[in-house]
Structure 1
């Protein structure tokens, strides 16, 4: 007859072995919200957005943008999530105008009209083109990348620094 103490120790050893095996699995080592995982999600989002805008003649790529956007929403801070939402809306309006509502499309058309009104000479008439969408896309992409970079480079001791010193230090990075 087996002793109850040996059964308990056998179960404990088996659970410890399973725990060690799961900890060595790369899929469980990287958890949602860790710096490496956020960096991978940001990279995937940037690539999906760029592909959707540049290759929109071949396919819209909106499905990949949505999936990558949700990955960013799952892992990022509120400031980065807001920037990602703006970038995703711009990408959807540029790559597939059916992916956004009419209200958003009117907002983007009003931006183009404001650019046209900035030209006061009749011989320099403004004609909206696909390049305007790409220029505004690059501007929002740059803003997102800046916020994501600051999010990834943030360390706990940055909060202890005085504001001007912290801003100066983060601009150096």
Structure 2
């Protein structure tokens, strides 16, 4: 199939690209110039691919986005670590308290039946188990979101740059 030349001259193309470069959206610039939005979008895309300064600017924007994501990830990991430490401390405290009650019941200091001791064990198990299950669920959710982000950022972004993350857990410790 033979391709025809553009029905828009270079002057119209340059004016439309200048509008977009000045901050006007592609949609508004296309309306003002009375050209299809898809045509202008193609022109902008073609211009961006060949513009080395534009490519460098997009790379810098991507680097800043990655740095911001890493900061957010670091904050989430620190918060999860604090929550895990608190849950572990609570679990130890509750288990210690239960051990004291069981010993006191065994020594006859307090009157607890086997059924009451078993009930206390169930309460402790349910309490600590729910807290740790919630924490594990949160950690799985964060890991899934991080994996999705890494997959998205690892795709070619049109600039020839491919971004990959490495496990930096050791670097997160403060």
TM-score over 0.5 (shorter chain): no
Q: TM-score, normalised by structure 2?
A: 0.29
Structure (1 or 2) with the larger CA radius of gyration: 2
Q: TM-score, normalised by structure 1?
A: 0.30
